[in-house]
Amino acid sequence: MKAVRYHQHGGPEVLNYEEAPDPVPAPGEALVRVRACALNHLDLWHRRGLERLKTPLPMAGGSDIAGEVVDPGPSGLAVGTRVMLQPGWSCGRCRQCLSGRDNECAQYSVLGTKEQGGYAELVKVPAGNLIPIPHHIDFVTAAAFPLTFLTAWHMLIGRAGLKPGDDVLVLAAGSGVGQAAIQIAKLHNARVFATAGTDAKLASALDLGADAAINHYTEDVPARVRELTGKRGVDIVVEHVGQATWDRSVKSLARGGRLVTCGNTTGWEAAIDLRFLFVRELSLMGSFMGWKGELLAAAPFFFNGRLKPAVDTTFPLRDAVKAHERLETGEQFGKIVLTVD
């Protein structure tokens, strides 16, 4: 099969469009013909190399996958069934997996990090990771849904306990998680304020349903939040930028507010005045991926059109280098997707 793999860590130039062995499913696994695979910042981090995490090389990245079943394994699905894939890979046997908290499994990984991912014509996954998609959902849109909407759903619902009427601040609305968080918060009747760095991205955030958009380069975000909330602050901040935005995110919280973070694209060092933390009874929460059950809970809203992944651009698989270069610029709004013929 054709695949895009890297044999060493580095910049986009280490990605090679090449022949690779066809994956062979083990017992309990299924084989899928990939039709589309969306990019995530996770792809960039693993391609560059991560301290303390060893990536088996060569590696085909790609966690967000849609395609057709070639070998259904024990899934009970028919050959040719159109599917999107749950991106998390867990043992399926431990206490965490059996209680539905599969992202807490000691063996948990994400497709394209330890197991070969979707930058290829074929991919193998646990049979339980197959999620059938209706025929009106195209492969590109389906590939743009799983990881970011699962992540944002877990952040808002599973971790932060979003309630109707909450005020939510979403950082970096142009990112995959950002555009998903806006829609999920609005779906649950929250008021949403979103930040972005260009007029085009601010307009797109409003089109997705944000009640107000804030330019994080030219405006004082906490001051603007206080203005929008009658000096109160927001109940929830969706934070995934990290070091560059941490201080203003904390300062944007109302008393009793919750900050939930899933990433650190600008750096991992953050500080907080503990007096501010305990006097205002703030909650700081980490969030990693999400539960398969949450993805299944979110999927019907995708299928009926109430959640709509934003797609920025598509590239053929052989142009994965160009796709990575675009993601690294940060100019995209929504997902960049590779298509596989």
Q: What is the pLDDT of residue 331?
A: 87
Helix H or strand E segment including 16: strand 15-19
Residue 328: CB atoms within 10 A of its CB come to: 14
pLDDT 10s digits, 303-337: 999 999 999 999 999 999 999 999 999 889 899 99
Could you give the 3-state DSSP secondary structure of residue 92?
A: coil
Q: What is the pLDDT of residues 102-143, one digit of tens each?
A: 999 999 999 999 999 999 999 999 999 999 999 999 999 999
- Report the alpha-carbon distance of residue 211 to residue 168 in Å, rounded: 10
- Concatenated DSSP letters for 141-205? HHHTSHHHHHHHHIIIIIIS---TT-EEEES-TTSHHHHHHHHHHHHTT-EEEEEESSHHHHHHH
pLDDT tens-digit series, residues 69-109: 999 999 999 999 999 999 999 998 999 999 999 999 999 99
Greatest mean pLDDT range, 19-23, 96-100, 238-242: 19-23
pLDDT at 298: 98
Q: Residue 238 pLDDT more than 90?
A: yes
The percentage of residues in the chain with a pLDDT greater than 70, rounded to a whole number, is 99
pLDDT of residue 266: 63
**Dihedral of CA 137/141/147/149: which sign?**
negative
Q: Which residue segments constitute the domains of the chain, with CATH numbers given?
A: 2-145+309-339 (3.90.180.10), 149-286 (3.40.50.720)
pLDDT at 181: 97
**CB-CB contact of 170 with 293 (8 Å):** no
For residue 204, name the pLDDT band (cuts at 50, 70, 90): very high
How confident is the model over 247-296, as pLDDT tens digits?
898 999 999 999 999 977 766 777 888 888 888 899 999 999 999 999 99
Which pTM value belongs to this model?
0.94
pLDDT at 242: 67
With 0-12 / 13-18 / 19 or more C-beta atoms within 10 angstroms meaning exposed / middle / buried, residue 194 is buried
Expressed in percent and rounded to 5, the helix, strand and coil fractions of the chain are 30, 25, 40
CB 46 within 8 A of CB 29: no
